[in-house]
Structure 1
């Protein structure tokens, strides 16, 4: 594409587009992922360990990808399995063509098959997230189904499905416990004598056999008594089901914010049939309780309690002899405790000392807690940086290995480095040093680790180390020479101050392959602002796509049509300070836009090719779809064109878990203030809504309600409803992804102001 440039005043502006992208441009652009993935060698993915001390990982090879298996004791690598037979077995079971060097997963786990602890593998498909299991002897593959009763987003049991009532045998083999109706009974294995443990179970307060846990000494049983929550069902019409003409009705158990959840309360019995009353005020208002965990000496059991509203999390311990409960750990916040990222390690397994992660000082750090009274014995780490993940704990050495980020002044604060430290906070040791993101996997025995480190502009290096950091050998070093020869250019980082004028906001810039700094390019932002993570890639990113929780569109593919495409982590996202994160609290409509707008303006002031004079385009899926709509409604001075896919546009319509964590409970007026439906009449600019008819993650009625509000407000917009489409509405429906092409078309027409090819004249309407 060629643009003439004119200087108007002191602002460079693009003139008429002389060459709009044609079908060949689309073909090249949308073929990048396939082309690039074949041009690299030994680009390693994060490593994993088997229980027997072998490691394995995926890497690029001629023709695609291969999985290799190795051992610290040998420099030889071997195939992790027979890829040809696995592809054949998965093809037969799934009905989809699977190629041996294009297996549709990047990680897997070895699982037992018969007497062989590594006789099968288990994995989730990249496209559908369905879990499969394949044996490694006859290579038979099957979908994995969960035994027992499913729960809607983990908090409401589906009482239409029977519970898994297989007898739970005691560790000493003398007893079995199981449910009879709504009650629980104990059977003596030797003589078959059955003793009822409860008689007061009923439909609205039953004893759940799936939660039953034996003490290690076989003297006690603990389980939950359940008061069922509200069984909300979302109903969807599948309008074009495969293999038949008539539509099909689909239903899904789908709790939403404010709905009553299952109330679980612990109960305790001994094998003589005696019930020991438990004080329950410490777990009186549960959003959730974790599975019961017995201490190794059988003296007590514990459970992690998340209070409704996510402002209190406790580890509650119950004495087996008395039933007395106490808070072994208590975490409170005025905003939220990030319950999905808590960490608990019971030192020695007896509940006397606990390792815990807390943000109580404003940063995410490790603490040693006295498990008998919940007091802090030692803050282990401290400083203006964050502990990301605990990777290994050695109780004997009293030492912890963990990843952390933000310790290096002037460097990317999201890059992870590996450290170790004593329980008393002494001897903090840095084990990785390269200025990159380090993805570390530690062996089960704690003797070795594999470090795969990279940046978006640097291919991965995988190396094996002893646990003290001593290098053993390099495993793989990515070769991207052919990729560079083909014209690939690394994305760029850009840092600007946020809304407060002080905080650094980090983003990524992707330019067209034929970028000319003398030209002007319209700008498109790829947005996902969910508070549960940060989203700008920090690792090598060779194939033109960035996969997060939801399928993202290829930023490079879009850029190559004549755009500059960016991604930004604004305030409200994770892995920075607690204050940075708290911006999202009851404020998801913010989406970090004040920071994003400041970032765009800062880059435009520095780079004259970065043209935001005609507005910025924006696209996103799921929570990114919500943010996209919010951009056009609340910030039309900058954002003028948007593609919102599978959006949770009103948090009251979405799943309970994610939304109550960030928007709070009870449901209040702030939910409405964050709703794209509420602000529909404020829409300016051009909007394309995309929704999958069978979205099981976000109720598709959320999109329909936006459509209804826009119609009532007299607004023009485009809508693409994909029959049978799931949450990943961009699934391939032809030679390319149809939804991707429609999205690209939308930006070419409305942001570039250029015509698109006449697709209906093309074969099958595709590039």
Structure 2
């Protein structure tokens, strides 16, 4: 029996021994034939006890410490700032010590807060901008002193906006007086003369600041107050008459009498009480909607907190393939008091029809039409005088139009033109159209990169600023950069160049901007840049991670390799434990989320705490963006079309195999995978379709059958209901399960129907498959990240991939 214990060194390697042990085991087998067994037993026990220091109670303790210590260490070095009228005021924290500085926007001179106060220049920088509305006070905890300066000739009342939105009285400031109050950053304050006459609204910044109460603050507050009080969407002061609905039809109302102008409305096809008036007040757009009864799903609460007996509630929940209400626009002539007829059949079979705007001259109303199935997206105009319908822009696709992420446009009122985003050339770019005729004037941006969003348009100068991804070909294509270009497509300038992903904020006249950027393996840097060419004016901050280093923090590894086609680059990261030893061999766990609405591998520097808490037990945790995810080429994205079960898994496997060649401490004989929601669907699909590679999967709240999930997300990528839905279902393929499986779901999940997981459970039972399953009473969406299930997931992978009992 002792001989058989050590005769298979690969078995021991599978349970966590390092590569050097493999050689040692060969020597031990040889020694077995020449030395006494009791000596070998002692040697073998000593080696195993050293190598199996994974998944132990100490590993779990370190993993739990990371949960608090890493975020705290990151806070030890941070940067906050705020633009003001005179320049920039900013706070740097290094080694836990804060320093405040001021940068003059005209001279670019930098001085400390102490110097600014000594020179009498601080108050100008510390002025808070007045706001037009207020919201609930945030939960931030940076203590500051807020000084109110009342320049009015009468007293004002101070109110703090509490976290629930209610106002709490904080006293009175007499005319011409000041009052300082201790508060916290982002706390909201409302000042008034009386209940209906505001004097100012302010939000505290992250440092001591001043709120000046004057005519400017009063005007901003009252403008917001009146705007909130008015029904602006249904109103236009120039409209001589107003529209309203009664008995499912539309009536005209004025000071003399009401006039009924429609008769065809009824309970199943009413007119909606929402109207959009033309600037001249002569026309209005409304909608008539054929209604259907929507689906509801039951949610059972088995263990209510306030009673013994279970409770049941039904929630509205449309699923893929369900019938939808159909909305058609109606054009009303308010002068002639009638509805202009036109052919509305082109709005049939819609996913969404919505009003966008009137042209400034009231000649056209613009409607955005998204056909069900998401293969047609049209911007249409309706001629106010004739009712003539015209496509200004008509996007079509043989796969899908990414309407939820890439519907972006900007109106150019001075020239009656339109900037519109499209993937018609295979990449998401900007185009310019005539907003009257629909003629394409020019393509503004082009190249093998994408526009992420429109930032700003200066019509006078004919320049557009935008966020771009992949614009630097030598960088990770998911890094976000700022660029500008002329509307005619000339003069492209990339304003950020640092090898990382960027965020920015301009000053009021857009002559300068703060550029803060980092990379998953590079701490944050903050620079002040001029806006014309992006030239660096001053380096403001470099994040110091020495406190993280003291905790054996290991930088993530960025890695890229070709995917399934041996051409397209796939990008991902690797997280190692703090006890990492390159001589050891580590199982790999992939954190997967392949939702096509975005990319999902982190690009900014951070703690990656959740992944590290798992890695700390003796794993390498990876995250990868395979084909089918967003913000690359249209071809890259189209892999998901009617194919969500693919989840980019062939690309992920190719990436992992390439990574193992580069890093021999990766053990591909022990690969696990986990995810939640769409990631839960992906994780289970991995062990169903690629069980020869993935040996264990933890799946939380998965949308395992896209017919069971919310309509918008699933039809966006799967189109209309068809046989492909069944082929993509994890329920259909449950019989293919190989390896270990851990399923979890909350019983009152309102995002993904929990029945979707239970149907998988049923299919697995029917196919006599062994697996673990936890249904959590009172659990909602994402319950897998709760403390209990997070620990259970750790235990699952320790048992499955390390082959030992956890926390021993």
Would the TM-score normalized by the shorter structure come out above 0.5? Answer: yes
Q: Give the deviation of 1:197 after TM superposition.
A: 3.2
Q: Does 1:313 align with 2:377?
A: yes
Residues 409 and 591 from structure 1, CA distance in 2 versus in 1: closer, same or farther, beyond 3 angstroms? same
Show the 5 A alignment for 1:111-150: 119=201
Secondary structure of the residue aligned to 1:687 is: strand
**Other-structure match for 2:651:** 595
Residues 662 and 678 from structure 1, CA distance in 2 versus in 1: closer, same or farther, beyond 3 angstroms? same
**Other-structure match for 2:300:** 237
Q: Does 1:480 align with 2:545?
A: yes
| C-alpha separation in 2, matches of 1:90 and 1:28 | 38
Secondary structure of the residue aligned to 1:482 is: helix
| C-alpha separation in 1, matches of 2:683 and 2:548 | 33
Q: Does 1:439 align with 2:494?
A: no
Q: Give the deviation of 1:270 after TM superposition.
A: 2.1
The answer (yes or no) to whether the contact 2:554–2:577 under 8 Å persists in 1 is no
Q: Give the deviation of 1:199 after TM superposition.
A: 2.5
Deviates more, 1:674-683 or 1:176-185: 176-185
Show the 5 A alignment for 1:622-701: 622-665=677-720, 667-701=721-755
**Other-structure match for 1:430:** 494
Q: Does 1:507 align with 2:561?
A: no
The answer (yes or no) to whether the contact 1:296–1:350 under 8 Å persists in 2 is no
Deviation digits for residues 13-60 of structure 1 (CA, Å, limit 9, x no counterpart): x9785334333422321231321121234766898989x999999997
Please, which of 230, 250, 261 is the counterpart of residue 324 of structure 2?
Answer: 261
Deviation digits for residues 496-520 of structure 1 (CA, Å, limit 9, x no counterpart): 1111111111110001111000000
Q: Does 1:756 align with 2:790?
A: no
| C-alpha separation in 1, matches of 2:753 and 2:400 | 25
Q: Does 1:184 align with 2:250?
A: yes
The answer (yes or no) to whether the contact 2:128–2:203 under 8 Å persists in 1 is no
The answer (yes or no) to whether the contact 2:76–2:96 under 8 Å persists in 1 is no
**Other-structure match for 1:402:** 466
Residues 67 and 89 from structure 1, CA distance in 2 versus in 1: closer, same or farther, beyond 3 angstroms? farther
Secondary structure of the residue aligned to 1:751 is: helix
Task: Give the count of matched residue pairs.
Answer: 692
Q: Give the deviation of 1:242 after TM superposition.
A: 2.6
Show the 5 A alignment for 1:23-42: 23-41=57-75
| Structure 2 residues without counterparts, runs of 5 or longer | 1-14, 27-46, 111-124, 130-136, 145-159, 167-183, 205-216, 219-227
Show the 5 A alignment for 1:259-298: 259-272=322-335, 273-298=337-362
Q: Give the deviation of 1:728 after TM superposition.
A: 2.2
Q: Give the deviation of 1:587 after TM superposition.
A: 0.6
The answer (yes or no) to whether the contact 1:363–1:384 under 8 Å persists in 2 is yes
| Structure 1 residues without counterparts, runs of 5 or longer | 95-102, 123-135, 138-146, 148-163, 546-553, 759-767
Secondary structure of the residue aligned to 2:783 is: coil
| C-alpha separation in 2, matches of 1:324 and 1:580 | 39
Please, which of 774, 780, 794 is the counterpart of residue 744 of structure 1?
Answer: 794
| C-alpha separation in 2, matches of 1:704 and 1:68 | 58
Show the 5 A alignment for 1:382-397: 382-397=446-461
| C-alpha separation in 1, matches of 2:91 and 2:750 | 30
Deviation digits for residues 412-462 of structure 1 (CA, Å, limit 9, x no counterpart): 111122111011111111111111111234467645433221101222223
| C-alpha separation in 1, matches of 2:295 and 2:367 | 27
| C-alpha separation in 2, matches of 1:197 and 1:172 | 20
Report which of the two has the higher share of helix. 2
**Other-structure match for 1:612:** 668
Residues 342 and 478 from structure 1, CA distance in 2 versus in 1: closer, same or farther, beyond 3 angstroms? same
Secondary structure of the residue aligned to 1:533 is: coil
| C-alpha separation in 1, matches of 2:711 and 2:734 | 23
| C-alpha separation in 2, matches of 1:7 and 1:731 | 36
Q: Give the deviation of 1:285 after TM superposition.
A: 2.3
What TM-score do you get using the length of structure 1 for normalisation?
0.82
**Other-structure match for 2:640:** 584
| C-alpha separation in 1, matches of 2:440 and 2:312 | 54
Residues 406 and 20 from structure 1, CA distance in 2 versus in 1: closer, same or farther, beyond 3 angstroms? closer
The answer (yes or no) to whether the contact 1:171–1:214 under 8 Å persists in 2 is no
The answer (yes or no) to whether the contact 1:42–1:476 under 8 Å persists in 2 is no
Q: Give the deviation of 1:389 after TM superposition.
A: 1.5
| C-alpha separation in 1, matches of 2:367 and 2:731 | 39
Q: Does 1:170 align with 2:236?
A: yes
The answer (yes or no) to whether the contact 2:298–2:314 under 8 Å persists in 1 is yes
Q: Does 1:490 align with 2:540?
A: no
Show the 5 A alignment for 1:218-233: 218-233=281-296
| C-alpha separation in 1, matches of 2:17 and 2:488 | 63
| C-alpha separation in 1, matches of 2:746 and 2:89 | 36
Show the 5 A alignment for 1:19-98: 19-41=53-75, 76=125, 83=140
Secondary structure of the residue aligned to 2:656 is: helix
| C-alpha separation in 2, matches of 1:320 and 1:44 | 55
